[in-house]
Amino acid sequence: MEIRLAREDDEAGIWTVLEPVIRAGETYALDPDMTEAEALAYWTGGEGKETFVAVRDGRVLGTYFLRPNQPGGGAHVGNCGYMTSPEARGQGVARAMRDHSVARARERGFRAVQFNFVVSVNQVAVRLWQAGGFEIVGTLPGAFRHPRLGYVDVYVMYQVLEG
C-alpha cells in the first residue's frame, strides 16, 4: 500500500471512500445528504490543507487530511480527518494513515495534533488513536446526534509531538 498526496484524478476514488461514511452519519458531523462536490470541497479544500490517499493496486482504500487546527496563534497544532473504505476496514489502512499523518505533521513543524470531534461510540477509532499516543483531553457531553443511538459524547484527543 502506498500513501501519497492526493491528485485531481483521485477524486472519484476519494468519493467512493467518503460517500458511505457521510451517508451513514455515524462518525462525522456532516450533512448525510451533501453532494459529491460539497464533500470533495470539504475534504480537499482549505488553506494549508494537504489531502492524502492510501492506494493499493490503483484503488483508493482510505484518505486523510492534515491542516492547521486554527489560524494564527493555533497554527502550530495540526488537525486531521480520516476515512477508510468499508471494504478495507481491518486491513491496517487507518493505522498506516495515522502513522503517516503524525510523521507528516512532524515534517511540517506542528508541535501537536488535535482531533476536535471523535464520536465516543466509534470505539475502533478511539482505540486506534489511543494506541498511537493520542489522549482524550476533553469530553463534550451529548455533542453528537447519532442516527441510531441518539445524543452521544464526543472526545477531543491530543498528542504532543515535541516538548
For residue 32, give the 3-state DSSP assignment.
coil
Confidence band for 5, pLDDT divided at 50, 70 and 90 = very high
- Model pLDDT, residue 81: 96
| Rounded average pLDDT over 97-122 | 98
User: Does the pLDDT value for residue 163 go beyond 70?
Assistant: no
Q: How many domains does the chain have?
A: 1
Angular region, 150: left φ>0, alpha ψ -120 to 50, beta rest: left
Tens of pLDDT, residue by residue over 125-156, are 999 999 999 999 999 999 999 999 999 999 99
- What range defines the domain where residue 147 resides? 2-160
The span from the CA of 133 to the CA of 33, in Å, is 34
Q: Report the CATH number that the domain containing residue 141 is assigned in CATH.
A: 3.40.630.30
